[in-house]
Chain A
Amino acid sequence: MAILLNIARILETPVIWIGSRAAWLSVILMAVIVFDVTLRHWFVVGSTQLQELEWHLHGALFLLCLGWAYIRGAHVRIELLSDRWSARRRAWVELAGCTLFLLPYVTMLLIYGGDYVAISFAYEEASASPTGLTNRWIIKGVMILGVALLGLAGTARFLEAIVYLTGTAETAGKTRFAAAQRTISSRT
């Protein structure tokens, strides 16, 4: 069981590493927007490429943080009923949710998304605007990377749920389910 928990932590490492760094893209995005506005209004320079760069940066920002947000518990949940459930029951539900919903959805996105990026790469796809950015496959690749990171976070959570439900008190106590349980107990 301790091994599963270790695997879960290893899977989470790149998710957290990339997510916490990608978060700073918001500052770069802000700088690019201000630069673009300044350039257009006061220096009147065409900026299709900057304007495209803006949504590229925004896309990378949220895509690369999808998995990290799962680890940090940022994704919205409706907890009207589940608040009253035992921690074990919630762990079971999370296990089922990862198995039936999250991981299959991520898997399908990766399968079809792989084709999607491959097409873009093979035909050297560029912006539909002749004055725009080239190498469209990069941002499309980031999309797939983001989904893959979400998949890693989901797998880690899946493993943690197994550890929590079947492990010894000691290993179970190290999972996020135990941590969440402590938060709820302290609240009530």
Chain B
Amino acid sequence: MPDVTFGELMPFLMFAVLTPLLFSGLPVAFILGGVALLFWAVAVLFAGENPASFFLVVSRIFGGVVSKTVLVAIPMFVFMGTMLEKSGIARDLLATLQKMTHRVPGGLALSVTLLGVILAATTGIIGASVVMMTLMALPVMLEHRYDGTLATGTIAASGTLGILLPPSIMLVVMADLLGISTGALFMAAIVPGLMLAGLYMAYIAMRVSMAPHLAPQMSKSAADDQSLGTGDIFKSLAPPTILILVVLGSIFGGIATPTEASGVGAAGALILAAIRGKLTRATMQDVVETTALTSAMLFGLFVGATAFSYVFALLGGHDSLIAMIEASGVGSWGILAALMLTTFLLGFFFDWIEITLIILPVFAPVIAGLDFAGHVPAGAPTLVWFAVLMAVNLQTSFLTPPFGFALFYMKGAAPDGLSLSTIYKGIFPFVLLQLAGLVTLLIWPDLALWLTRDAG
């Protein structure tokens, strides 16, 4: 190990200070901003950092958070989810699904996973889909005496599929940074995304059949009591189905961008609630407040996190990481392994955009030149395969504690009394499933590449 100076350790010290403070019970957003300021001040006082550099924290909040058009989708999907929940539409839907699948162990959890896949096809904004599913599905699952860890794990994992399944902002950014075709990368991500959804469902089914108390089935008599007429099924399934068709239809019909489709969905939910006579002044007030407070919670995190990652970069964190990867990688597989491990570890603390900005521009030429001796054909497909590996890896960054955004989104939207430790325990098996998926893709690159071959 070469000599490491204190200055080189500084960026990593940020994590050492952050982690215990996260557990102080103070708002995470404030801790992030505060720790960033602390390290910046130390750098100004002892390392000659330019005092004007804090200006960029303000710039980053404006240029990287406030003026980002795609982030508009977050409050709109939150509005849509809250409206569906408060108006009872989501409750009826899930109750019907529960009854329809009452013979299938864990039927509700499996339905929720499918809902995650559908939402994933509308957006790549994790905050939106996790919050929306938490608001809609978590109370119902808990009411049906689902185990808290199974319920939260299912929602968090399937809610993050949106970053992997197209359309996905992350894939577009990666394609741009790697200089590969967006279309090819979209195609390449479909099978791995569906494979993960399949893994989740297989796991849920297996887990529930081994431990039925995790997802209590309705007793036979209860199910018979509440046997469903076709009318009931229609009444509860039709509104959300129409809504999904409207949202997806507006995107795929070329009427709205995915961002705008969120607004269309919110308006649709409002109209549905009105048609069902549930749109009282109290409901409206409730929906508007929940939307505003949840958005403030999410964006409070962004405002803190942007300061943290900025100071990390100012202190030379990026350069140190790149030096470490370059030092550890031996041969093509060595470099790939080092990149995958670094991505996974960075995922504990950073979100995907920071990680891709650290790794991709610097290593894109390196990766393009790597030779996986017949494992994948040389050239462009290597980059596509690599991008998919990165994408699956980055999806775990939303789930891994202490700093998994999906976990915070969920905690912020979950009913009071649901503890973060339940969520941590809940996502653990799903993170293992993700890693299993990652290894599968490492072994069989064709899972990602065969659809692109037809396209190209």
Q: Direct A–B touching in the complex (beta carbon < 8 Å)?
A: yes
Partner-B contacts on A (CB < 8 A): 19-20, 22-27, 29-34, 36-37, 41, 51, 54-55, 58-59, 61-63, 65-66, 68-70, 72, 74-83, 85, 90, 93-94, 97, 100-102, 104-105, 108-109, 112-113, 115-116, 139-140, 143, 187
Residue from A23, A85, A100 in contact with B289 in the complex, judged by beta carbons closer than 8 Å: A23
Does A68 contact B293, Cβ atoms closer than 8 Å? yes
A residues in contact with B54, CB < 8 Å: 108, 112
Does A55 contact B66, Cβ atoms closer than 8 Å? yes
Tell yes or no: B204 within 8 A of A by CB. Answer: no
Does A76 contact B301, Cβ atoms closer than 8 Å? yes
Does B408 contact A76, Cβ atoms closer than 8 Å? yes
B residues in contact with A68, CB < 8 Å: 292-293, 296
Tell yes or no: B90 within 8 A of A by CB. Answer: no
Partner-A contacts on B (CB < 8 A): 22-31, 33-38, 54-55, 57-59, 61-62, 66-69, 71-72, 75-76, 79, 250, 255-256, 260, 262-264, 266-267, 270, 288-289, 291-301, 303, 307, 402, 408, 411-412, 417, 419-421
Does B294 contact A143, Cβ atoms closer than 8 Å? no
Give A54 to B72 CA distance when docked, in angstroms. 7
Does B66 contact A139, Cβ atoms closer than 8 Å? yes
How far in angstroms is the closest Cβ of chain B from A25?
8
A residues in contact with B307, CB < 8 Å: 105
Residue from B68, B256, B291, B303 in contact with A26 in the complex, judged by beta carbons closer than 8 Å: B291
Count how many pairs of residues, one from A and one from B, have CB atoms less than 8 Å apart in the complex: 202
How far in angstroms is the closest Cβ of chain A from B266?
5
Give A148 to B263 CA distance when docked, in angstroms. 29
How far in angstroms is the closest Cβ of chain A from B142?
15
Does B412 contact A76, Cβ atoms closer than 8 Å? yes
A residues in contact with B61, CB < 8 Å: 109, 143
User: Is chain B's interface secondary structure helix, strand, loop, or mixed overall?
Assistant: helix
B residues in contact with A109, CB < 8 Å: 57-58, 61
How far in angstroms is the closest Cβ of chain A from B155?
16
User: Which 8 A-B residue pairings sit nearest by Cβ, starting from the closest?
Assistant: A101-B34, A82-B25, A33-B263, A23-B292, A75-B27, A69-B296, A65-B296, A105-B33
Does B412 contact A74, Cβ atoms closer than 8 Å? yes
Which one of A62, A68, A77, A113 has the highest number of Cβ atoms from chain B below 10 Å of its Cβ? A62
Does A22 contact B75, Cβ atoms closer than 8 Å? no
B residues in contact with A143, CB < 8 Å: 58, 61-62, 66
Task: Tell me the nearest residue of chain B to A59, going by C-beta.
Answer: B66
Task: Tell me the nearest residue of chain A to B67, going by C-beta.
Answer: A55
Task: Tell me the nearest residue of chain B to A63, going by C-beta.
Answer: B66
How far in angstroms is the closest Cβ of chain A from B268?
9
Residue from B76, B294, B408, B421 in contact with A80 in the complex, judged by beta carbons closer than 8 Å: B421
Does A74 contact B267, Cβ atoms closer than 8 Å? no
